[in-house]
């Protein structure tokens, strides 16, 4: 059941009605049943793995909290179980194939084993939630949840199950305990947030996907301008696709009275790579910071060790996104970016300063945003390409015959579609610039109610008129 389907909208409407009819005391039960039904509707067999992760993590956390000794061993068991589940189901064939290719380089026979493994929806997300929960219980950040049903809800909460945000347990459980909720405000705010998410996904991301897929799935047919266009389009496609999902999930949770953490903060307005990672997929980048980077020593170690820590974190981050070397290289590139930024900052260059120092010159700000965006753009090539070979081809040919291939763009995408996409992207850009400077929500609240509702109705019509309803899955749903 896709979040973009009519089935989901009907399912969600029924859940909201039941949720607010029953007593506050039992609302979590409605959410738990709904979450498991939602998960089963994709692939019934997947319920086995999320249930295993839930049960093991729940009981291990209880044991850790009650143990005076061997707490670290119990933590290792719980974390290892979730990692084995994740690696075994998602990466086994990737590693098996990689070992075979490696040994073939030295003409050594290696009989790799390939398993017919079922793709488990959202496994990268629910195992990371379980791991962070175990670590936080071990460090005594909070006591473990005694109610196994509420813990199961935390792991399986349906709006964020497929692609996050990766919510922290303490925030989630504290909100379940809230007694007073303004239903009307929750529903209105949630619908507004969901509406923006549907616009980003259906109208922009899925329309961009048509051109991106045509180019990136047939790269041998293109040089120059089409490759540039496809790469720019993918940068905005993945943002609108993933941010769109996050807004739909956050809005749906808000309607149910739960506030999920914000996952995006206008990332393409970043003035440096470190700032980008504070704005992009915030729940994942903060997870890696708290549960991998800091335990490795963070930046409290010598430069050589810090460099290794950064590379490890970004290699793991790349691999987390998918079982492919293209993702690993993408992560490695961002790790190199972080190291270079650190070294440049250390020498106190005038153009690239420490993030905490504000650059007053507007031109230099724009220059930093421009450079940062294009560094990100280069890395996106590896993220989107179907293979490392395709990535290399694109980099070699992206600036070949730019002028002569410019007319090829109009063979790929009609002029009117380019104008529509350009207008929509410009709308999103202006929205984000205003939000960065003044805050759009506060600005809208000061406008007449007639203007606000006219805007909301206009967005609905734009979605209905220009939305792509071909049931394109969310990009991050595969992770």
* Per-position pLDDT tens, the chain of length 479: 777 888 889 999 999 999 999 888 888 999 999 999 998 887 888 888 999 999 999 999 999 998 878 899 999 999 999 999 888 887 777 777 766 666 666 667 666 666 666 677 888 889 999 999 999 999 999 899 999 999 999 999 998 888 778 889 988 988 888 755 688 888 988 999 999 999 999 999 998 998 899 999 999 888 888 899 899 999 999 999 999 999 999 999 999 989 998 899 899 999 999 999 999 999 999 999 999 999 998 888 888 899 999 999 999 999 888 878 899 999 999 999 999 988 887 665 544 444 455 545 778 888 999 999 999 999 999 999 999 999 999 999 988 887 766 777 767 777 667 778 888 888 888 877 777 766 555 556 667 778 777 888 888 888 888 888 877 777 776 66
Sequence-distant (≥ 6) Cβ neighbours of residue 79 within 8 angstroms:
131, 134, 135
User: What sections of 67-144 are H helices per DSSP?
Assistant: 71-90, 92-105, 123-138
219 HSE (CA, 13 A, CB side): 23
- φ, ψ dihedrals at 145, nearest 5°: -70, 125
> Rounded to whole angstroms, how far apart are CA atoms 341 and 336?
9
Instruction: Answer yes or no: are the C-beta atoms of 216 and 234 closer than 8 Å.
Output: yes
pTM of the model: 0.87
Cβ atoms of 185 and 446 within 8 Å: the answer is no
Q: How many CB atoms lie within 10 A of CB 9?
A: 12
Q: What angle do CA 313, 314, 315 make, to 5 degrees?
A: 95
CA 163 from chain center: how many Å?
Answer: 6
Residue 49 preceded by cis peptide, ω within 30? no
Give the C-alpha separation, 222 to 92, whole Å: 34
Q: Say what the pLDDT of residue 311 is.
A: 94
Q: CA nearest 225: which of 420, 369, 394?
A: 394
Q: Please, what's the b/e burial string for 279-311 (b: 16 or more CB within 10 A of its CB; e: otherwise)? A: bbbbbbbbbbeebbbeeeeeeeeeeeebbebbb
- The residues spanned by each domain of the chain are 6-180, 186-271+359-478
């Amino acid at each position: 059941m896709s979040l973009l389907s009519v089935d989901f909208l009907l399912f969600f409407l029924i859940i909201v009605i039941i949720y607010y009819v029953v007593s506050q005391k039992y609302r979590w039960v409605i959410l738990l049943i709904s979450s498991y039904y939602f998960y089963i509707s994709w692939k019934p067999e997947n319920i086995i793995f999320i249930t295993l992760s839930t049960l093991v993590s729940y009981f291990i956390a209880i044991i850790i909290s009650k143990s005076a000794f061997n707490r670290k061993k119990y933590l290792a068991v719980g974390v290892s179980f979730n990692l084995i589940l994740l690696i075994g189901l998602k990466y086994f064939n990737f590693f098996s194939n990689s070992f075979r290719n490696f040994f073939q380089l030295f003409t050594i026979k290696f009989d790799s084993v390939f398993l017919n493994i079922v793709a488990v929806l959202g496994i990268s997300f629910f195992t990371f939630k379980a791991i962070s929960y175990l670590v936080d219980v071990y460090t005594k950040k909070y006591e473990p949840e005694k109610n196994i049903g509420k813990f199961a809800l935390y792991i399986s909460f349906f709006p964020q199950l497929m692609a996050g945000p990766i919510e922290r347990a303490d925030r989630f459980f504290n909100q379940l305990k809230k007694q007073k909720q303004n239903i009307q405000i929750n529903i209105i705010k949630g619908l507004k947030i969901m509406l923006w998410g549907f616009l980003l996904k259906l109208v922009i991301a899925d329309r961009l996907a048509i051109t991106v897929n045509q180019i990136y799935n047939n790269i041998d047919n293109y040089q120059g301008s089409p490759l540039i266009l496809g790469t720019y389009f993918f940068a905005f496609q993945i943002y609108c696709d993933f941010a769109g999902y996050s807004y739909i999930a956050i809005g749906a949770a808000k309607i149910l009275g739960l506030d999920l953490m914000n996952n995006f903060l206008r990332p393409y307005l970043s003035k440096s790579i470190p700032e980008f990672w504070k704005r992009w997929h915030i729940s994942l980048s903060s997870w890696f910071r708290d549960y991998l980077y800091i335990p490795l020593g963070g930046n409290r170690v010598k430069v050589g060790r810090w460099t290794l820590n950064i590379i490890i974190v970004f290699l793991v981050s790349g691999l987390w996104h998918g079982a492919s070397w293209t993702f690993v290289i993408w992560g490695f590139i961002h790790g190199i970016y972080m190291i270079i930024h650190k070294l440049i900052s250390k020498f106190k260059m005038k153009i690239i300063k420490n993030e905490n120092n504000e650059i007053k010159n507007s031109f230099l700000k724009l220059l930093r945003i421009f450079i940062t965006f294009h560094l990100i753009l280069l890395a996106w090539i590896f993220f989107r390409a179907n293979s490392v070979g395709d990535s290399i081809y694109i980099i070699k040919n992206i600036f070949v015959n730019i002028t002569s291939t410019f007319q090829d763009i109009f063979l790929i995408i009609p002029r009117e579609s380019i104008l529509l996409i350009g207008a929509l992207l410009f709308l999103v850009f202006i929205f984000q610039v205003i939000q960065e400077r003044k805050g759009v929500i506060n600005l809208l609240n000061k406008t007449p109610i007639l203007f606000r509702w006219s805007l909301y109705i206009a967005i609905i019509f734009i979605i209905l008129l220009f939305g792509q309803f071909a049931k394109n899955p969310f990009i991050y749903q595969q992770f």
